[in-house]
Chain A
């Protein structure tokens, strides 16, 4: 069936560097995408979202890029900090999905001091 997946299960970066986490999705009908951060033993926290009528959206230290042509989503974290260490999930939904999210496999970001 339709799925959302990630290329890299683990990403290790040096503190202060920029991080890029990637996500591929397969449902061409998806029109809303979200990145979540999940720390150990906690529920997912909303980071940033983007709608399919956009290709880039910026937040505080984070940027999400959407390439609908190749069904690819990325999360960029600027000046990565130790507190950014977590598992990051992309999720997608579509207009007719009734708020139902489909999650990608997750990428663990490890920030080295």
Chain B
């Protein structure tokens, strides 16, 4: 199946710094990618929809200035957590779709803000 690569898998950063997470579709072009956040023992919560060449669509309650999304090419979307704080510590997962329904997920990024 299609492969989505997410990097880094783990990152620890100091409070107040920014962290960039990359999501790449390795063997297909994805016009749409999705970013999710997952707290321990909870389900994935959609943060935003990333569309190539246009602004991302954020879910209600997600600060777009806090979580910057860039989808500059058909194979790469990035999520930047700006001025990170401990409450931003979480597991972030991206997904990319081949078509209407099939979604492939990255391995996830464990962000710890200290």
Q: A residues 31-55 with Cβ under 8 Å of B?
A: 32, 34, 36, 41-46, 49
> Interface size class for chain A?
20 to 34
Binary flags per residue of A94-112, CB closer than 8 Å to B gives 1, else 0: 0100111111111010000
Give B contacts to A, CB under 8 Å: 1, 4, 6, 32, 34, 41-46, 49, 91, 93, 95, 97, 99-108, 110
Q: Interface centre among B34, B46, B95, B101, by most A CB within 10 Å?
A: B101
Query: A66: shortest Cβ distance to chain B, in Å?
Result: 14
Please tell me which one of the listed residues A36, A89, A93, A103 contacts residue B101 in the complex, with CB atoms under 8 A apart: A93
Given contacts A98-B49, A99-B32, A101-B34, contact A106 B42 (CB under 8 A): yes
With A42-B108, A43-B93 as given contacts, are A106 and B32 in contact (CB-CB < 8 Å)? no
| Chain A residues near B104 (CB-CB < 8 A) | 46
State in angstroms the CA–CA spacing of A98 and B48 once bound together.
13
B42 touches A105 (CB 8 A): yes
Please tell me which one of the listed residues A41, A42, A100, A106 contacts residue B46 in the complex, with CB atoms under 8 A apart. A100
CB pair B105–A104 under 8 Å, yes or no, is no
